[in-house]
Amino acid sequence: VGLFVSSQPLRSRLNTNVMTSSPELSSPTELRLLVVGSSGHSQFLLTNHILGRKEFAKNVTSISGSIKNTGELAGRRVAVINGPNIYDKDISQVKRKMELRRSKCLCIPGPHAFLVTFDMEKISLNEMRTPKLMKERFGRHCLRHCMVLLAYDGKLEGAALEDRVQKTDWPLRELIEQYGGRFHIISKNWRDRSRDRELLQKIERMVASLGGVCFSSRTFQRAEDCVKKEVKRLKKQRTGEIEKAWTVMEKQYIAEDLYQQKDAYTANVGAEIRAKAEMDNGWLRTSLARGLGTGFVVGAVMGALFGSIEGPGGMVLYGIIGGAASPWGAFYQ
């Protein structure tokens, strides 16, 4: 939203116009898609497929942090949010919990759809637990907003292939039924755009059946509140910088050109502030501090017990090591 020149003081106008809040803090035409993967490359392949570009290399099977990318799917603007895989064992529980929070901040006030990805030919027993884990991590009603995306390595047969999935007795069918029977098959060749329109229509129909609203919960509301608070803090920090930039513009432009330059500059600053607030805010900083702090205390006690056999010096050394390594802090929000 642009900032129009008026007689209001700059600080007042910044508070009311920069990053103005609509009910969803973003374009109502943008679909926010939170991609959830249990293991492997499927969620990253799906992201490439939706965006129509290679955001993730073929050998990427996991990421340590949450990421948001924007683009278009069949002409509809989309924001695609990826977080670490649900079963990723390469990151600590503290880190996983913080990245879960970050993924929520990146799609506030909530995703229109959760896209849950699986490799169609590699469904494991762990993946059968994915619906339960999703309810624990996102809220018990999140499955209503879910659609299963199946990556298939072969020639897509459209309706015939989907009919085969629906009639099979293998665990995949049981898994899909836990998500309300909603699913779509994509080619592992992400450059195959033949079914983009069909995928978009399925997502839009699901969203429409839910009243056109995004998914929300207490934690998504908490994420939104913390992002708004961080945006306000960052805007206040940059007020002087914006005033200075506007003064320079007023010497270079006049009339309509001046309005356009100020609008463009303010929109860019607002987008930059919003992006920073989503990636780093008080909620995320508190999560990390509590997790590491609690883990350090519990781990230090356990480490000191083991270190006691080495004498006083060993108690200190093993206490520090135990505190740094302990995952206990991950269980504290």
CA dist., res. 103 & res. 215, Å (int): 14
316: pLDDT strictly greater than 60: no
Q: What is the pLDDT of residues 96-151, one digit of tens each?
A: 899 999 999 999 999 999 999 998 888 877 788 899 999 999 998 999 999 999 99
Q: Strand pairing partners for 33?
A: 80, 113
Q: Which two tokens stand for residue 92?
A: 């600590």
Q: Where are the alpha helices (DSSP H) in the chain?
A: 10-17, 42-51, 93-106, 130-138, 159-167, 171-178, 196-209, 218-252, 255-279, 282-307, 312-325
- Which pLDDT score is estimated for 156? 62
pTM of the model as a whole: 0.78
Among 12-21, 149-158, 228-237, the range with the most confident prediction by mean pLDDT is 228-237
Q: Which two tokens stand for residue 234?
A: 């960052």
14: pLDDT strictly greater than 80: no
- Which pLDDT score is estimated for 300? 39
90: pLDDT strictly greater than 90: no
Would you call 318 helix, strand, or coil by DSSP?
helix
Each as own residue / partner, the long-range contacts of residues 19-26 (CB below 8 Å, 24 or more positions apart, any chain) are: 19/231, 19/235, 19/270, 19/273, 19/274, 21/228, 23/109, 24/109, 24/214, 25/108, 25/109, 25/224, 25/227, 25/228, 26/79
Each as own residue / partner, the long-range contacts of residues 301-305 (CB below 8 Å, 24 or more positions apart, any chain) are: 302/326
Mean pLDDT, rounded, for 288-304: 52
Contacts of residue 236, defined as CB under 8 A and 6 or more positions apart, other chains included, come to none
Q: Which two tokens stand for residue 246?
A: 């506007």
Q: What is the pLDDT of residues 277-295, one digit of tens each?
A: 999 999 999 877 876 654 4
Question: Which DSSP letter does residue 213 get?
Answer: P
CB 39 within 8 A of CB 87: yes
Among 10-24, 55-69, 161-175, the range with the most confident prediction by mean pLDDT is 55-69
